[in-house]
Amino acid sequence: MSKSSNAVSRRNFLSSVLATSSGLVLGNLASSSPLNAAGILDEPHAGGNSLSINIEDYPELKEAGGYKVLKEVAIGDMTDSIIIVRKSDTDFLAYSSICRHKKCNVKYKKERDLFVCPCHGSTYDINGKVIKGPSQGDIPKYKTKLKNNTLEISN
Ligand code: FES
């Protein structure tokens, strides 16, 4: 074996050790707890087919009628933008916020209890069903479950 091929082998060895090490670090980060040192969820967290948020982190969700769009969050093995509506103290709704026409994010209109797309006016009822085009499809609903201040959203 020549000196140069020996050096290449050493370089390849070091590269694979570094790749393995960084994979372990990323793996540890991916499986780390979503709770901060105080035991509070500090950012949206995806795990399995669900996403959990601490509603205290979102002032928009403090009162009934408030809503929040979480843009491009991972939920299960997909990425979606999700609109969360607080209907009462304990009742939350969650839908994909992506309009089925040309993918703008819909807004919640509390006074009409509807979702309206600001781009071309598509309108969806509170069940996510399209009631006015140009959209031709409904916005998918997610399940929600509130436990203490943690809202779990799942598909
Ligand atoms: S993108 Fe929503 S109506 Fe066109």
pLDDT per position as a tens digit, 106-145:
999 999 999 999 999 999 999 999 999 999 999 999 999 9
Could you tell me which residues come within 8 angstroms of residue 128 by beta carbon, excluding any fewer than 6 positions away?
95, 115, 138, 139, 140, 141
The first and second tokens of residue 41, run together, are: 């969820």
Interval 66-87 mean pLDDT: 93
Ligand 1 atom closest to the Cα of residue 99 is: 2
Interval 62-68 mean pLDDT: 94
Query: Of 24-28, 54-58, 95-99, which gets the smallest average pLDDT?
Result: 24-28
Higher pLDDT, 113 or 49: 113
pLDDT at 18 over 90: no
Closest CA to 61 of 86, 95, 94: 86
- Find the residues whose C-beta lies inside 6 A of ligand 1: 99, 101-102, 104, 117, 119-122, 134-135
Identify which of 120, 123, 132 to mutate to test ligand 1's pocket (most ligand atoms within 8 A of the CB).
120
Report CA(28)–ligand 1 centroid distance (Å).
Answer: 40
Ligand 1 atom closest to the Cα of residue 102 is: 1
> What pLDDT shows up at residue 5?
46
pLDDT per position as a tens digit, 52-63:
999 999 999 999
Q: Whose CA is nearest to atom 3 of ligand 1?
A: 120
Report CA(53)–ligand 1 centroid distance (Å).
Answer: 28
* 49 — pLDDT class (breaks 50, 70, 90): confident
pLDDT at 3 over 60: no
The first and second tokens of residue 113, run together, are: 């209890």
Torsion of CA 83, 36, 76, 92, to 10 degrees: -30
Q: What is the mean pLDDT of the chain?
A: 79
pLDDT at 41 over 70: no
Report CA(82)–ligand 1 centroid distance (Å).
Answer: 16
